[in-house]
């Protein structure tokens, strides 16, 4: 089973991002993310044996909860850079507690044998993936014409363990466990 841990977005933030993607979709032939799939990953686990699922849940449950995780979704950008982009993203600004949560979760999962992260944590929301070079001028202009790139702010109530399965129009994410965070 393919797993990751992440923070779900509140409905108003998802709706704003869905409106943005709906507006941008006709401007560039990218692999656009469905709004229901938008989340902030705190730990990508990858393949995990089903018979060890409970062990993983108990380990993540034992991760110390940081202070409140305050998140603002704002800004748009490109990974790895705007000249040869592979991912179009919405930015995530957060209190240090989000970074602490990601580090602690990474350490806990590494104790069970997952690969520890080798890059600094960079929270974001993947709005689209770019497989092959495509014209992006119309999309870039639409981004420049936006009145605001503020999509919502919230206190994360929890983080969740998700199962990722392929579906007919992209991955389907199913929550398997929820871990509360301080309010």
**Catalytic residue ranges:** 39, 124
Q: Would you state the structure tokens that stand for residue 97, as one six-digit string?
A: 């507690």
Distance CA 84, CA 77 (A): 12
**Cα(68)–Cα(7) distance, rounded to whole angstroms?**
13
Cross-strand bridge partners of residue 116: none
The span from the CA of 26 to the CA of 139, in Å, is 9
Radius of gyration of the chain (CA): 17
Q: Under a CB-based contact definition with an 8 Å cutoff, are residues 40 and 92 in contact?
A: yes
Q: Are 150 and 14 within 8 A, CB to CB?
A: no
Q: Which residues contact residue 115 at a Cβ distance below 8 angstroms, ignoring those fewer than 6 apart?
A: 46
Token couple for 74: 């704002």
- Decide: residue 8, CB within 10 A, 0-12 exposed, 13-18 middle, 19+ buried: buried
Quick check: bond before 121 cis, omega within 30?
Answer: no
């Amino acid at each position: 089973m393919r797993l990751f841990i992440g923070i779900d977005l509140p409905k108003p933030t998802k709706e704003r991002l869905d409106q943005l993607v709906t507006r941008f979709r006709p401007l560039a032939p990218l692999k656009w993310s469905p709004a229901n799939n938008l989340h902030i990953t705190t730990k990508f686990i990858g393949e995990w044996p089903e018979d060890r699922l409970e062990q993983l849940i108990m380990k993540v449950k034992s991760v110390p909860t940081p202070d409140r995780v305050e998140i603002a979704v704002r800004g748009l950008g490109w990974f790895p850079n705007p000249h040869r982009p592979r991912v179009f993203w919405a930015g995530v600004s957060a209190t240090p507690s989000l970074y602490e949560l990601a580090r602690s979760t990474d350490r806990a999962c590494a104790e069970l044998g997952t690969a520890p992260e080798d890059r600094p944590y960079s929270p974001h929301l993947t709005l689209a993936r770019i497989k092959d070079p495509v014209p992006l001028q119309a999309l870039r202009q639409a981004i420049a014409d936006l009145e605001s790139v503020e999509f919502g702010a919230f206190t994360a109530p929890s983080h969740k363990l998700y199962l990722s399965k392929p579906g007919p129009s992209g991955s389907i994410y199913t929550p398997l466990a929820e871990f509360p965070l301080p309010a």
